[in-house]
Structure 1
Amino acid sequence: MTADRILGALDFLREAEKLKCTLRSGFTSDGRPESTAEHTWRLCLMALVFADEFEGIDHLRFIKLCIVHDLGEALSGDIPAVMQTEGSGKSAQERADLEVLTRALHPEKRAEILTLWEEYEAAQTPEAVLAKGLDKLETILQHNQGKNPADFDYAFNLGYGQRQTSAHPLLAQIRTILDEETRARADQARR
């Protein structure tokens, strides 16, 4: 690897560090706001843990999709799911931010990351469908595990990501368990 490629990669990694500071609407189990980097880490861990149950997929590509799926949020931040609307421009903004974020990378690596992100967004490959489903499940898992404010809207989770989480039998099984947990958390919050 040339010195220029190393320097470009380091510049990119420095910019990507912003994901550690990009906060989401979820909370950790100790009540601290969760970062996008933390969400991405656990999504990748979920992909690793459940990968053997997904036959006929490219496991490395699956993990790569999970790694890059929210990378564009490093610049403009996260828009909580409850605030997302059809045609909000979220996807276009993330794509534009990803182009800026990856500008220091070697063109081949930049193209790979952009292509992976586009594959995730389109959700037309088996790997992307599974990554999207696990992404929704990780969010619900965190909402159920987090120390949330008293007015947290657990009911939102019961409808969140239904299409993505029904795309594979294992995703649906996990969803059933998490929905039960969501209902229990909602009941507990009402007391």
Structure 2
Amino acid sequence: MQNQNLHGKLEFLRQAEKLKSVTRSAHTSTGRRESSAEHSWRLALLALVFEEELGDVDICKVLKLCLVHDLGEALSGDVPAPQAHAVPDKGANERQDLIAMTSMLEPSMQDNIVGWFDEYEAASSPEAKVVKALDKIETLLQHTQGDNPPGFDYAFNLEYGRRYTDAIPFLASLRQVIDEQTRKRLNS
């Protein structure tokens, strides 16, 4: 078997597996807390399902950004959006964890993965802007279908991530549909 740095790639994948155990504040439809890996999977699925509506973006790049956007959480965990203000260095911390996770990869692959994360964090390309918005949409969608605990803060969702979702006309209209579902949960 010929493959450069086979052992390093396998070790990276072992590190990335930890994302499956990182839980988020969202709950699945069965009431179990969802993992960051599950969130990333459905984020990528959203991108595929709405590919035609997303405009002139490179879907392959969109999917890469979806896969790496929360990868740094595998080491230090997720910070729920309502508490993000208490962790001002969240992105920098995730980036440092991502650098540690990718240190066993060849430098070009590490640079690509960290570069995609940086692009996402800065929303510096059309693809990153789409993924930022879809990331918020996926979270909102999960909150509308999750078996959430009593006292769940649906009102927070009505403003969450709006600067990203409202910047893309199709996603703004998709957001309106999800916001209506959020209002129903809030008022029930």
Counterpart residue number, 1:52: 52
Alignment deviations for residues 106-142 of structure 1 (CA, whole Å, 9 cap, x no partner): 1111110010000000102100000000000000000
Query: Equivalents in 1 of 2:161, 2:92: separation in Å?
Result: 20
Q: How does 1:25-40 map to 2 (within 5 A)?
A: 25-40=25-40
- Aligned residue for 2:109? 109
The Cα offsets for residues 68-118 of structure 1, whole Å up to 9 and x where unpaired, read as 000000000000000011871101100100000101111111110010000
1:136, 1:40 → 2: CA distance?
A: 11
Q: Percent identity?
A: 53
1:53, CA displacement in angstroms?
Answer: 1.4
Give the alignment's Cα RMSD to 1 decimal.
1.3
Q: How many residues align?
A: 188
CA distance in 2, matches of 1:151, 1:2: 55
1:76 and 1:26 mapped to 2: Cα distance? Answer: 18
- Taking structure 2 as the reference length, the TM-score comes to 0.97
Match of residue 140 from structure 2: 140
Comparing 1-10 with 56-65, which one deviates more in the overlay?
1-10
Contact 1:130 1:167 in 2 (8 A): no
Give the gaps of 5 or more residues in structure 1: none
| SS in structure 2 of the partner of residue 152 of structure 1 | coil
| CA-CA distance at 1:4 after TM superposition | 5.0
1:92-171 equivalences under 5 Å are: 92-171=92-171
Give the match for residue 18 of structure 1.
18
What TM-score results when the alignment is normalised by the length of structure 1? 0.95
Deviation at 1:2, TM superposition (A): 4.5
Q: Distance in 2 between matches of 1:19 and 1:25?
A: 14
1:175 shift after superposition? 0.5
Cα deviation for residue 55 of structure 1 reads 2.4
* Structure 2 runs not aligned, ≥5 long: none
* Paired letter, 2:89: G
